[in-house]
Amino acid sequence: MGEMDDGPNILGRGYEIVHLDSQLIVINKSCGILSVPGIGPEKADCIAMRVAAEFAGARIVHRLDRDTSGLMVMARDAETHRKVSMQFEARTVRKRYTALVGGHPIHDNGKIDLPIAKDFDRSPRQKIDPVHGRPSVTLYEVVERIETPLSARVHLHPQTGRSHQLRLHLLMIGHAILGDDLYASDEIRALSPRLCLHADQLAFTNPATDEFLAFESAAPF
């Protein structure tokens, strides 16, 4: 397993720009910063605010969890925001994540289909809820099996976009993500100083030109 870091954090900025044009901004987000403001003044600082301070009018299209690093797209005007958001809603956007998980999954690939709901008794956790949960599907493939520490590198293709979906789905097949302070055991959490989850591929259509745009960002772990 290679050396780990927190991902892009140019001069404390919290992100680096991967692509910039008159309609779109694609960034590589650092681990440890919110995508949008949380509840309370201590959670006001976020990617949405930082990017908008640099590029007036920039607005969030989708989110990554605070401790997830990787690729995000933002729109620079309302019409672009509407059209890119429609692609996410229609599930035509291609997304891939890389994670390091504890142990070795039995199967080299598979599908996790477990409905997710908020766990109001243990907020901000989510839970599997067959009755009230929303449909949630993740495809995974094992790309590397690591002996020391016993872990695996996996590629994840979420078919839905629920909060904590990847973290919870991997937990439910017995392979929590290294460094996960919400769902992993103390042993698995201690294997990494950060959550080992990174959005490493993002592809969508530029609504202004109909050009298909594809971006990659290597996982920093």
- Which residues form the catalytic set? 65
- Closest to 100 in 3D by CA, of 32, 190, 195, 174: 195
Q: What is the dihedral of CA 29, 95, 205, 116, to 10 degrees?
A: -100
Per the DSSP assignment, residues forming a β-bridge with 70 are 29, 199
**Is residue 207 a contact partner of residue 77, using CB atoms and an 8 Å limit?**
no
Q: Count the Cβ atoms, other than its own, within 10 Å of residue 148.
A: 6
Of the candidates 182, 166, 176, the one whose C-alpha atom is nearest the C-alpha of residue 124 is 182
